[in-house]
Chains A and B, each alone.
Chain A
C-alpha cells in the first residue's frame, strides 16, 4: 500500500516556539499535520472517524483514522461505518472534524491548555463561507488558536513545484483529488478563481466503480472486496489507456497483448480432498461385514421359521385332539361341548385344520401340491363340467345358470393351464440359452467374459441415458445459463418439448403473415402437442431386466467385477450435479477493468455525472478566464501541472497531452508535468508558505474574525506570492 498512516505521538511539541505555525492539509482522504518549515508532515492518517461500541463494556468509543484491523475485533462496528466530515471536499460535519483535529493535535504532542500556534489549514476552492466560518469558530473557540489562515491545497502544490522549477508562474494546475477534480489557472503566481472549474469526480469514484464492477462480476466473492482492498487494487493495477476504444478492442479480440495486460488475483483456495478409490482390504472388509450381516439375517429368519413351524404343529395337534374327542362325544352333546372351544361345528374345525396343515407345509417349504390338484381335477373334469356339452334347450333355468358357471370355471382353469405351459416353455428356453452360453464360455472363457462386459457397459449406458432423459439430468439445453431451477428444469424432455411447442404456438402467431395450415404437416403439431404422446415405460424395463441378468452372471463369473453404482430410481431424488470448484473459480481477473475504472476521470458521464472530463476541463478553464490573450493561453498550456492523488495513474500525462491537444488550436505548445510528489506537495507547499516571514500578514485573529464578520470572511483570500 503506497499510503501508510503515520500516527506515532510526537514528543517535541514543547520545544517548538509558539510563533511556529502548525500546517494542516485537510484533504478528503488524508489528514496531514506538521510544523511549518519542515519538509514532511509529522502525523498522517485517513480522514475518517468510526464510533463503534466496545464489545465488553458496551461504551461507545471514538476511533480516528485507520488502525490495525486485528484490534477492531474488540469492537462492534456493525452499526457505525467509517464516517467522513466531507461532502464533495466541503467540510460539513464539524463534530467529526473535531474528533479528527483532536486526534491530530494529540498526536502532535500537544499537552498545554490550548494550541498556542498559528494554524494554516487547507480548504477547497471557493469553500462556502458557512463551512469556513464554522472551521474558524472551532479552531478559535475550542482549541484557542491565536490566528488562522485558509489556503487551497492545489495552489500550494503549484507554488511548491514552481519554486522547484517544475512549472512556470503562469500555468494550470490540474488536481484530480479524492472526491473532486479541480483545474485552477495561475497568472503571475496567483490562482485565478474566476477561471477555475470543478468536476465532482475523483479517486473515490474510481475505487467505488471498481468495487461495484467486481462485485457484480464475482457476486460469490463479494466479501473479499472491502474498500481498503479495492483501493489497493486500484493503486496497484489501474492505468489510463492512451485511447480507450482501441485498448478495449484489443481485449475484445483477445490478442496476446491483452492477455499480457490481464492481471489475476488468486484468492486463497484449498483443493478439495480427492476421494481415493477404496483399497482391496477395504472392499474385503466391507464384503465380510456384509456377509456377516447376511448370515445373521438368515439365522434370524431360520429361527423365526422354526418357531412358526413349532407353533403350527402345536395347533395342529390341538385340533386333531379336539376332533378325536369330538368323535367320542355324542351327537346331541356336540353344541355344548363346542361352546367351550369357540368353534361352532365340526366342519369349522376341519377347515381350520386344513388351513393349519397348509400353512405348515408352506412354512416347511414343501411345494404346493398343485400337480396333485390338477391330476385330481382331470378325472373329475367330465363330471365337473357335466352341463357344458348339453344344449341349452334341454336345461332348466337353474341348470342354465349352473352351465354358465361351469363354462367360466372351465375357461379359467384352461387359461391357468396354458399359462403354466408357457412358463414351462420359457423355462426350457432359458435353460437352453444358459446351456448355450455355458458352452460358449467353456469354449473361450476370455472372449465370452469380454463380450459380457461390453454388453453390460452398453446396456447400463442405455439405461442410464433413459433415466437421465426422464428426470432431465442432462444440462444440454442452452437456456440454463442462469442456473435457475424453474418449471422448465423439472419437466422431463418430452414434457418440455410439448411446453415449447405450446409457447411457440401461443406467442409466435401474429408475427408476420400467418401461414399455418398451408402445408399438411402443420397439423401434425397438434398430435405432438397432445398429452397422450408421452413415452410409455415398456422399453427400459426389458433393458433393465437384461442388465440385471448380465450383471448377476458377471458377478458369478468374474470375481473382479464391481457393478456400477445405481443411479436414478434407487435414490429418491437425484442430487443436482454440482461442478466441483476449481482454482479458476477463485481467481479475480482484471482485464478491461484496469483502464475502464480510471477512465471515468475523463468520461464522468459513465457513472452518471454529467460534467466534462479532465482533459476538457482545461479548455473550460481557459475559456472562463476574464481576459482573452492568446499569448497568455499559450503560456498557460506550456506549464500544466498535474497534482493530487489520482494523477498517479500510469499513462495519465500522455493521455492528458493527447486530450488537450485535441481541444487546443493547432500548433499550441503543450507541456504537461506531474508534480514532484502529487500527494505530499500540497502540504510541503503550505509548510514552506507558512514559514515565510510575511505569513503573519495573511492570517486573521479571533478579534478580526468577530469584528469583520462573515462578509469579510467570504472575500478572504490568501495571497500566495509573498
Chain B
C-alpha cells in the first residue's frame, strides 16, 4: 500500500477489536454465499401488512396519494410551459423552435427525455 493511503487511513481495517464477530468471520472469503439480503419490496412483502388493522400506520400505508391537482405540463426540453405534444415522439414542447429540435433528436435522446419522467418505452 502507498504511504499516503496508509496515512489517510482510507481503508477500513479488517480486524476491529470492538467487534465480537469480525466481518471476515461473518462473510467468509471465497465462499459462495449467495445474496443474504432482501430487496425493499421483498421486505415489505414479508411484513404481511394485510394481517394488521388498516388504520395502524405502517411503511406502506403512510405513502402519499396521487395529487388531486391537474398536472402541470412542462416542455421536456426547455422546461417552459408546454401547450403542445408531439404524437410521434411523445415529447411535450413549448413552441415551434423546440419542435424543430424535438424532431431532429435521435431516438436515443427522445427515449432518455421520456425516461426522465418515467414514460420511456421499455423493451422487455
> Is the Cβ of A613 less than 8 Å from the Cβ of B47?
no
> Is the Cβ of A128 less than 8 Å from the Cβ of B13?
no
> Is the Cβ of A213 less than 8 Å from the Cβ of B116?
yes
Instruction: Take A114-B18, A196-B62 as given contacts and tell me if A481 and B100 are in contact as well, using a CB distance cutoff of 8 Å.
Output: yes
**Contact residues in A for B104 (Cβ distance below 8 Å):** 481-482
> Is the Cβ of B64 less than 8 Å from the Cβ of A126?
no
The CA-CA distance from A482 to B104 in the complex, in Å, is 6
Instruction: Take A106-B16, A141-B21 as given contacts and tell me if A94 and B67 are in contact as well, using a CB distance cutoff of 8 Å.
Output: no
The CA-CA distance from A56 to B3 in the complex, in Å, is 13
B40 at the interface (CB under 8 A from A): yes
> Is the Cβ of B63 less than 8 Å from the Cβ of A199?
yes
> Is the Cβ of B4 less than 8 Å from the Cβ of A198?
no
A406 at the interface (CB under 8 A from B): no
Of A64-72, A522-530, A666-674, A676-684, the one with at least 4 CB within 8 A of chain B? A64-72
A658 at the interface (CB under 8 A from B): no
Bitwise, B40-58 to A at CB < 8 A (1) or not (0) is 1001101100000001011
The CA-CA distance from A93 to B100 in the complex, in Å, is 47
> Is the Cβ of B18 less than 8 Å from the Cβ of A94?
no
**Contact residues in A for B58 (Cβ distance below 8 Å):** 126, 128
Nearest B residue to A96 via CB reads: B37
- Interface size bucket, A side? 35 or more
**Contact residues in B for A196 (Cβ distance below 8 Å):** 57, 62
Cβ < 8 Å to B, chain A residues 303-361: none
B86 at the interface (CB under 8 A from A): no
> Is the Cβ of A67 less than 8 Å from the Cβ of B8?
yes
The CA-CA distance from A11 to B10 in the complex, in Å, is 18
Interface size, chain B (Cβ < 8 Å):
60
A170 at the interface (CB under 8 A from B): no
Instruction: Take A54-B1, A74-B5, A248-B80 as given contacts and tell me if A130 and B63 are in contact as well, using a CB distance cutoff of 8 Å.
Output: no
Min Cβ gap A84→B in Å is: 12
Bitwise, A604-644 to B at CB < 8 A (1) or not (0) is 11111111110011001000001000000000000000000
Min Cβ gap A612→B in Å is: 5
**Contact residues in A for B112 (Cβ distance below 8 Å):** 212, 216
Q: B62's contact among A112, A197, A608, by CB below 8 Å, is which?
A: A197
Min Cβ gap B105→A in Å is: 8
The CA-CA distance from A130 to B26 in the complex, in Å, is 19
The CA-CA distance from A248 to B43 in the complex, in Å, is 42
Nearest B residue to A208 via CB reads: B116
Q: B68's contact among A142, A608, A609, A616, by CB below 8 Å, is which?
A: A616
> Is the Cβ of B40 less than 8 Å from the Cβ of A244?
no
Q: B39's contact among A87, A98, A110, A198, by CB below 8 Å, is which?
A: A87
B66 at the interface (CB under 8 A from A): yes
> Is the Cβ of B65 less than 8 Å from the Cβ of A92?
no
A193 at the interface (CB under 8 A from B): yes
> Is the Cβ of A245 less than 8 Å from the Cβ of B81?
yes
Q: A94's contact among B13, B37, B68, by CB below 8 Å, is which?
A: B37
B19 at the interface (CB under 8 A from A): yes
The CA-CA distance from A112 to B112 in the complex, in Å, is 52
The CA-CA distance from A71 to B78 in the complex, in Å, is 39
Instruction: Take A63-B10, A102-B16, A113-B17 as given contacts and tell me if A605 and B67 are in contact as well, using a CB distance cutoff of 8 Å.
Output: yes
The CA-CA distance from A162 to B118 in the complex, in Å, is 40
Min Cβ gap A295→B in Å is: 57
Nearest A residue to B94 via CB reads: A252
A105 at the interface (CB under 8 A from B): yes
**Contact residues in A for B47 (Cβ distance below 8 Å):** 128-130
> Is the Cβ of B100 less than 8 Å from the Cβ of A63?
no
Min Cβ gap A621→B in Å is: 9
Cβ < 8 Å to B, chain A residues 581-608: 592-593, 596, 603-608
The CA-CA distance from A193 to B63 in the complex, in Å, is 12
Number of A-B residue pairs having CB atoms within 8 Å of each other in the complex = 183
Nearest A residue to B103 via CB reads: A481
Min Cβ gap B80→A in Å is: 5
B89 at the interface (CB under 8 A from A): no
The CA-CA distance from A129 to B58 in the complex, in Å, is 10
**Contact residues in B for A608 (Cβ distance below 8 Å):** 116-119
Cβ < 8 Å to B, chain A residues 118-176: 124-131, 141-144
The CA-CA distance from A342 to B15 in the complex, in Å, is 102
A249 at the interface (CB under 8 A from B): yes
> Is the Cβ of A209 less than 8 Å from the Cβ of B116?
yes
**Contact residues in A for B67 (Cβ distance below 8 Å):** 604-605, 610-613, 616
> Is the Cβ of B10 less than 8 Å from the Cβ of A67?
yes
Min Cβ gap B113→A in Å is: 7
A387 at the interface (CB under 8 A from B): no
> Is the Cβ of A131 less than 8 Å from the Cβ of B17?
no
Min Cβ gap A115→B in Å is: 6
The CA-CA distance from A93 to B42 in the complex, in Å, is 12
> Is the Cβ of A62 less than 8 Å from the Cβ of B12?
yes
The CA-CA distance from A103 to B13 in the complex, in Å, is 9
Q: B5's contact among A71, A103, A144, A244, by CB below 8 Å, is which?
A: A71
Instruction: Take A245-B81, A612-B67 as given contacts and tell me if A198 and B20 are in contact as well, using a CB distance cutoff of 8 Å.
Output: no
Min Cβ gap A105→B in Å is: 6
Instruction: Take A248-B81, A607-B118 as given contacts and tell me if A142 and B21 are in contact as well, using a CB distance cutoff of 8 Å.
Output: yes
Q: A63's contact among B11, B17, B39, B59, by CB below 8 Å, is which?
A: B11
> Is the Cβ of A90 less than 8 Å from the Cβ of B5?
no
> Is the Cβ of A610 less than 8 Å from the Cβ of B37?
no
The CA-CA distance from A495 to B59 in the complex, in Å, is 66
A194 at the interface (CB under 8 A from B): yes
> Is the Cβ of B39 less than 8 Å from the Cβ of A244?
no
Q: B11's contact among A61, A94, A105, A142, by CB below 8 Å, is which?
A: A61
Instruction: Take A63-B12, A95-B27, A252-B80 as given contacts and tell me if A90 and B69 are in contact as well, using a CB distance cutoff of 8 Å.
Output: no
The CA-CA distance from A626 to B40 in the complex, in Å, is 28
Instruction: Take A106-B16, A111-B17 as given contacts and tell me if A130 and B1 are in contact as well, using a CB distance cutoff of 8 Å.
Output: no
Nearest A residue to B17 via CB reads: A111
A57 at the interface (CB under 8 A from B): yes
- Enumerate 9 A-B pairs (CB-CB under 8 Å) in ascending A order: A90-B40, A111-B18, A130-B43, A196-B62, A213-B116, A216-B109, A608-B117, A608-B119, A626-B55
Which A-B residue pairs are the 6 nearest by beta carbons? A608-B118, A592-B79, A193-B57, A87-B40, A596-B79, A62-B12
